[in-house]
Structure 1
Amino acid sequence: MGGLPIQNSSSVVSLQSQKDQGSGIVTPASDSKPKKICCACPDTKKLRDECIVEHGESACEKWIEAHKRCLRSEGFNV
């Protein structure tokens, strides 16, 4: 039985955490499941998106910044 060598579990975990570092996924200390940036701050995201659709991005800086603040509070680097 040839093929690829078997990696130990610590190598797999290390590779997985390196993969997740740039993917927009944050694992909060209190929660074992990683949180995706698209699912964080749904309230500010909705307000931001509705404003941009109705008025254009330049008129919605207030909502864009509010959403960014919310994302930062959730641990995302935006």
Structure 2
Amino acid sequence: MFGPISSWWSGPSLPAVESKPYDPTDPKQNSLNPKGLKPCCACPQTKSARDDCFLKYGDQAPEKCKEVVESHLACMRGLGFKV
């Protein structure tokens, strides 16, 4: 008898607080990236070296550019990006 009344008095149930998914560009979530750089703008030196290597070696790039790619990935990981 009091079921509907008690649920009416208790009000609607509040949704569970959702945690925001990890955003590496959010300085509040990622202290490694205080400027909030997006992946396209992060690590410009290693990114340009990687791109130049791929343009220079074409089909042979996977073997020839391995070190350059690894240094770019290390730079990205250093800024908190999951790559």
Provide the TM-score with structure 2 as the length reference: 0.58
Q: Alignment partner for residue 73 of structure 1, among 67, 78, 83?
A: 78
Partner in structure 2 of residue 53 of structure 1: 55
Structural RMSD (CA): 2.5
Partner in structure 1 of residue 44 of structure 2: 42
For 1:26 and 1:64, the matched residues in 2 are separated by 25
Structure 1 counterpart of 2:49, one-letter code: L
For 1:50 and 1:40, the matched residues in 2 are separated by 17
For 1:38 and 1:61, the matched residues in 2 are separated by 20
1:40 aligned counterpart, secondary structure: coil
For 1:64 and 1:26, the matched residues in 2 are separated by 25
Find out whether 1:25 has 2:25 as its counterpart. Answer: yes
Whichever of the two has the greater Rg, that structure is 2
Could you tell me which runs of 5 or more consecutive residues in structure 1 were left unpaired when the two chains were aligned: 1-10
- Contact in 2 for aligned 1:26/1:76 (Cα 8 Å): no
Could you tell me which runs of 5 or more consecutive residues in structure 2 were left unpaired when the two chains were aligned: 1-16
Provide the TM-score with structure 1 as the length reference: 0.61
User: Which has the larger strand fraction?
Assistant: 1
For 2:26 and 2:53, the matched residues in 1 are separated by 27
